[in-house]
Amino acid sequence: MKKILITGGTGFIGKALIASLLAEGYEVTVLSRDINSVESICGVGVKAINSLDALKPEDIYQIVINLAGAPIFDARWSDARKQIIRDSRINLTQQLVSGLAKMSTKPELLISGSAIGYYGDHGATILTEHSGVKEDFSQQLCADWENEAKKAEQFGIRVCLIRTGLVLGEEGGLLQRMSLPFKWCLGGRLGTGQQWMSWIHREDWIAIALKMIIDATMSGAYNATAPNPVTNSQFTKALADALNRPALLPVPAWLLKKLLGEMSELVLGSQRVFPERLLAAGFKFKYATLSSALTQLLSRP
């Protein structure tokens, strides 16, 4: 039985990932400040540590999955908040890699989180893993985060960087945020609606992580996005149709900028991302189109 250490395991993606890992027979340990709540959140039998300082040289984890990070959309981006966002990703990844370096038996694989914010705002340009970047806060955050994770390669650890798009799933995430105003008939496009949204169903994200675990040929950065991104206007219409609600109230860009400040770049910025390396590796998306994803997620009682 292979052992897996996960940071960020109690989050929206982490909880669902752990359920799949347990079903596959892996033994899972989660890094959490509240170790007493881990089993109730993540499942019976999941172990917990409350600090990376608890890692010992004799500990053995074949796989490490690094998803930790303060929520990026939960509070306006003051200088203090941006520092919290950076520290929770970059400093923790530094500590994690330092802990792995001390292990007598090194992990086979480190899967480390990143995001399509790595590319910056590129309008309608199609972005692959080889595309250039445009610097802003999100881009620098992701680049620095990835660079810290890649330092594990010097210890012979295979590193996969998972550049995550907008994740759709039940009980949280983007879909819950966007559905609520539509249910009250208050939904509409954001800004011009021409900005591209590169999304992924949570089940496909988990399938990508599982493929990275079993496919030793995979390494480096991968775009975890469905192969059919949509504009915000297209997403808005598809969501309204799936909920059988109108999309009557567009939110102007100036208002979003006033309300959200610099954080408005998350909803007004445009990344039209294509998962070139995943497809080349033979990955098959279960939910390749937005309509198939929304039908599956919103058709349940």
Instruction: Convert the pLDDT of each residue in 251-300 to its tens digit.
Output: 999 999 998 999 899 899 999 999 999 999 999 999 999 999 999 999 86
For residue 122, is it within any domain? yes
For residue 243, is it within any domain? no
Instruction: Convert the pLDDT of each residue in 183-232 to its tens digit.
Output: 887 889 999 999 999 999 999 999 999 999 999 999 999 999 999 999 99
Return mean pLDDT, the chain.
94
Counted domains in the chain: 1
Q: How confident is the model at residue 246 (pLDDT cuts 50, 70, 90)?
A: confident
For residue 28, is it within any domain? yes
For residue 25, is it within any domain? yes
Distance, in Å, from the CA atom of 40 to the CA atom of 62, rounded to the nearest integer, reads 25
For residue 72, is it within any domain? yes
Q: Which domain holds residue 11?
A: 3-169+198-226+273-285
Strand locations in the chain, DSSP E? 3-7, 27-31, 47-49, 63-66, 109-115, 126-127, 158-164, 166-168, 196-197, 199-201, 220-224, 230-231, 272-273
For residue 233, is it within any domain? no
Instruction: Convert the pLDDT of each residue in 164-175 to its tens digit.
Output: 999 999 887 888
For residue 293, is it within any domain? no
CATH of residue 156: 3.40.50.720
For residue 240, is it within any domain? no
pLDDT > 90: what percent of the chain? 79
For range 38-58, the mean pLDDT: 90
What's the pLDDT at 300?
A: 62
Residues 6+ apart with CB under 8 A from 47: 27, 28, 29, 30, 38
